[in-house]
Amino acid sequence: MTDREIAILAAKQFNPNEIVSIEPYGNGHINATWLAIHKSDDGKEAKNLLQKISTVAFKKPDELMENIVGVTEFLRDKVEEDGTLTVIKTLDGKNIYIDEFGNYWRVYKFIDDAIAYQQIENDNDFYICGLAFGEFQQMLAEYPAEKLHETIVNFHNTPSRYADFKKALAEDKMGRAKDVQPEIDFVLAREGKADGITSKLESGEIPYRVTHNDTKLNNILIDNETGKAKCVIDLDTVMPGAAAYDFGDSIRFGASTGAEDETDLSKISVDTHLFEVFAKGYLSTANKFLTPAEKDSLVTGAYLMTLECGVRFLTDYLNGDVYFKIHRENHNLDRCRTQFKLVADMEAKEAELRAIVDSIK
**What would the pLDDT profile of 167-192 be if each residue is shown by its tens digit?**
999 999 999 999 999 999 999 999 99
Strand, coil or helix: 282: helix
What are the phi and psi torsion angles at 49 (to 5°)?
A: -95, 115
pLDDT digits (tens, 9 = 90+) for 258-313: 999 999 999 999 999 999 999 999 999 999 999 999 999 999 999 999 999 999 99
Distance CA 326, CA 317 (A): 10
Strand, coil or helix: 32: strand
Distance CA 319, CA 262 (A): 21
What number of H helices and E strands is found in the chain?
A: 12, 11
For residue 324, is pLDDT > 90? no
pLDDT range class, residue 56, cuts 50, 70, 90: confident
* 341 residue type, one letter: K
pLDDT digits (tens, 9 = 90+) for 218-253: 899 988 998 889 999 999 999 999 999 999 999 998
In the chain, the percentage of residues whose pLDDT exceeds 90 is: 84
pLDDT of residue 119: 77
pLDDT range class, residue 323, cuts 50, 70, 90: confident
Contact 46, 132 (CB under 8 A): no
Summarize the confidence of residues 29-36 as an average pLDDT. 91
Summarize the confidence of residues 185-207 as an average pLDDT. 97
Nearest partner of 177 among 338, 314, 334, 332, judged by Cα: 314
- Structural domains of the chain, ranges and CATH numbers in brackets: 3-112 (3.30.200.20), 123-359 (3.90.1200.10)
